[in-house]
Amino acid sequence: MALPTIAALTPSDWDVEIHDARTTPVDYGKKVDLVGITSYTADITNACKIADGFRSRGVKVVMGGVHVSALPDEALQHADSVVVGEAEAVWKRLLRDCEKGELKKIYKADTLIEMSGMAIPRRDLLDSSMYSSFYSVQATRGCPFNCEFCTVTAFFGQEFRVRPVEDVIEEIKGLNSKEFFFIDDNITGRAGFAKSLFKKLIPLNLKWGGQTTLNFAKDEELLSLYARSGGRYAFIGFETLSDENLRKISKSWNSPDGYREAIKRIHGVGINIVGSFIFGLDGDGPDVFERTFNFIMENKIDAAQFHILTPFPGTKLYDDMVKDGRISDSDWSKYHTGEVVFKPAKMTVRELQEGYWWIFHKTYEMKNILRRSLRSPRGIVYRIGTNLSYRKKARKMSHVVL
Ligand code: SF4
């Protein structure tokens, strides 16, 4: 929702269009005064080419987002200006400078933005059929934790910020949809806030999903409110089954000893779990894939996302890997968590890559999908649907036998 939010903050004497270069070709001939570009790390090379294309035609270009904020000098080779950090606080100033022909090289907010009265994203500028996350809402920013591999705290700062509950509820009502997604990185990051929000959601009778840490299962009231307010699924970062790995990535508040019990409690209130797992952490050997697969099946984790450890710029992991000379590939297009771009500690690059493909295929074999999805009649349609979409992704990957 970054671009629709920026669009909402743009004064009405500017006409705004949002274009997704991942799905439609760029029209370089379009008469525009300013092009703003944001991109994931994996798409940044293409984003820079687009910036070059517009600038070669005399159009001013500004770039921003998580990757650009981490490496502003790289973006400045392709853009007139870069925005470092949250764009909301500097956007109007940047536009005024643009109107005067006085764009500065770097725009960086001195403070984090105020969460009260936040702009409502201009969803009208998006094609709802193109985005599964179209009906998404942000209630908080940041995360109270700071896991080494994660860009969230690096970008949003250590402070976990929340919007007024009433603002969030009003935005949700305005979606006119029976289902939505909280795009927050950790919707239960502040239990008191989450409880107030969930209580206000109950009368709306909606269904929703969000991202959370496993910690929310320790708080009975929070867990119950999550479910009663319509929370049907939760994306949860388990990351690894190893205490040693968790310690190394500064996530030791997650405890594998408590995983089984937490999963039972979450399933018990009717919430489906999409678990996230990372491979290639320094404690991982070639046996990690089979152990993780067995864990997923034994605990009937409803669906799982797998990631190869990826050192994204801006994270401590990236800085450490650069310092230790462990980055083996600097081609940003490979930084999508599905390819190995560093030297693993306890397995070869090939073992890591093939193990990742193996677990993806194995988890989404039909018989394994059914074994997990049939754990309860409640929510079975959601589980099968989600699994089939991951299966589609798995089928595009190389098939390997470990
Ligand atoms: S808990 Fe999740 S969102 Fe928060 S820092 Fe860790 S990985 Fe990032």
pLDDT at 158: 77
- CA quadruple 69, 70, 72, 74: dihedral positive or negative? negative
Residue nearest to atom 8 of ligand 1 (CA): 150
Q: For residue 240, how far is its CA from the centre of ligand 1 (angstroms)?
A: 13
pLDDT at 133: 75
Question: What are the two backbone dihedrals, phi and then psi, of residue 263, each rounded to the nearest 5 degrees?
Answer: -60, -45
pLDDT at 351: 97
Task: State which CATH number among 3.80.30.20, 3.90.1070.10, 3.40.50.1220, 3.30.930.10 fits the domain covering 123-395.
Answer: 3.80.30.20
User: Ligand 1, residues 138, 141, 143, 187: which to mutate, most atoms within 8 A of Cβ?
Assistant: 143
Distance between CA atoms of residues 402 and 351, nearest Å: 9
Distance between CA atoms of residues 168 and 201, nearest Å: 10
DSSP 113: P
Q: For residue 25, how far is its CA from the centre of ligand 1 (angstroms)?
A: 34
With a CB cutoff of 8 Å and minimum separation 6, the contacts of 49 are: none
Write down the ipTM of this complex. 0.99
Question: DSSP letters of 14-68?
Answer: S------TTTS---TTS--SEEEEE--GGGHHHHHHHHHHHHTTT-EEEEESHHH
CATH level 3 topology of 2-108: Rossmann fold (3.40.50)
Distance between CA atoms of residues 332 and 312, nearest Å: 9
pLDDT at 246: 93
Residue nearest to atom 6 of ligand 1 (CA): 147
Cβ(295)–Cβ(289) below 8 Å: no
Instruction: Return the ligand 1 atom nearest residue 186 CA.
Output: 3
- Tell me if residue 187 falls in helix, strand or coil: coil
Cβ(77)–Cβ(111) below 8 Å: no
In the chain, CATH 3.40.50.280 sits at 2-108
Distance between CA atoms of residues 289 and 176, nearest Å: 42
DSSP 342: B
Cβ(1)–Cβ(182) below 8 Å: no
- CA quadruple 239, 245, 247, 250: dihedral positive or negative? negative
pLDDT at 111: 82
In the chain, CATH 3.80.30.20 sits at 123-395
Residue where the block lists tokens 């500097």: 90
Each residue's pLDDT tens digit, 338-351: 999 999 999 999 99
Residue where the block lists tokens 């502040």: 190
Q: Walk along the chain (402 residues) and give the pLDDT tens digit of each residue.
A: 889 999 999 999 999 999 999 888 999 999 999 999 999 999 999 999 999 999 999 999 999 999 999 999 999 999 999 999 999 999 999 999 999 999 999 999 888 888 898 989 999 998 888 877 789 999 999 888 889 999 988 888 778 999 999 999 999 999 999 999 999 999 999 999 999 999 999 999 999 999 999 999 999 999 999 999 999 999 999 999 999 999 999 988 888 889 999 999 999 999 999 999 999 999 999 999 999 999 999 999 999 999 999 999 999 999 999 999 999 999 999 999 999 999 999 999 999 999 999 999 999 999 999 999 999 999 999 999 999 999 999 998 887 777
Distance between CA atoms of residues 330 and 237, nearest Å: 26
Enumerate residues lining ligand 1, CB below 6 A.
143, 145-147, 150, 152-153, 185-186, 213, 237
